[in-house]
């Protein structure tokens, strides 16, 4: 089985979800996508994660991002679990959950790691851009809940770098100074980064946030 690498095309698939049958590419359209897997339904960590994803619905929408979850349980289990999520997390589930009982999607995206668990998916995250390219992968163990603030931060960084040809430094947050890539020559900086720049080293040049 091939491992998905950054820049690879995200595999397309047809799936049954809590929002009806979908073709992944058609459903994604021109949006960014956060595709994330869960070891099983009715599990405590996943319940908190799906609630957090739902609570972030407005933030995802502002960024043209569609979240979609996956678990290897069936649709009826998903529907019952959604009720538990809404009851315990205080928010309506506003995104689809893929029912992947035959593990088709889990195998396409290499979400099952046999040395960790032969049957359940690990906590994988794939950020996929509107061109259907994989831009980020994260894999957590089943016991460790994900940090969705970090997922939002990464989306901000990716979208900013695409629009303005910048890189983001360690612990960057939206609004912080950004880095001018080494591939940009000094004589081209003024035309492309009108807010000015600071040269810390010839290879380390910063400029104020271009989107603020």
Catalytic (active-site) positions: 46
Query: Given CA atoms 58, 62, 63, 68 in this order, what sign does their dihedral have?
Result: positive
End-to-end CA distance of the chain: 44
Residue 210: exposure state from Cβ atoms within 10 A (0-12, 13-18, ≥19):
middle
Alpha-carbon distance 55 to 79, whole Å?
18
Distance CA 35, CA 23 (A): 14
Cβ atoms of residues 38 and 129 within 8 Å: no
């Amino acid at each position: 089985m091939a491992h998905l690498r950054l820049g690879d095309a995200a595999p397309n698939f047809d799936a049954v979800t809590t929002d009806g049958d979908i073709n992944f590419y058609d459903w994604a359209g021109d949006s960014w996508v956060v595709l994330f897997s869960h070891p099983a339904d009715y599990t405590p960590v996943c319940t908190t994660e799906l609630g957090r994803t739902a609570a972030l619905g407005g933030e995802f929408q502002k960024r043209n991002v569609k979240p979609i979850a996956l678990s290897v349980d069936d649709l009826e289990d998903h529907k019952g679990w959604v009720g538990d999520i809404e009851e315990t997390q205080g928010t309506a589930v506003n995104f689809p959950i893929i029912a992947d009982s035959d593990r088709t999607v889990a195998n396409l995206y290499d979400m099952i790691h046999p040395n960790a668990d032969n049957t359940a998916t690990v906590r994988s995250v794939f950020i996929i851009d509107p061109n259907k390219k994989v831009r980020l992968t994260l894999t957590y163990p089943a016991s460790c809940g994900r940090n969705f603030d970090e997922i939002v931060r990464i989306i901000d960084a990716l979208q900013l770098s695409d629009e303005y040809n910048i890189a983001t430094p360690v612990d960057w947050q939206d609004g912080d100074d950004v880095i001018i890539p080494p591939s940009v020559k000094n004589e081209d900086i003024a035309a492309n980064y009108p807010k000015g720049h600071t040269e810390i080293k010839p290879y380390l040049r910063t400029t104020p946030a271009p989107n603020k």
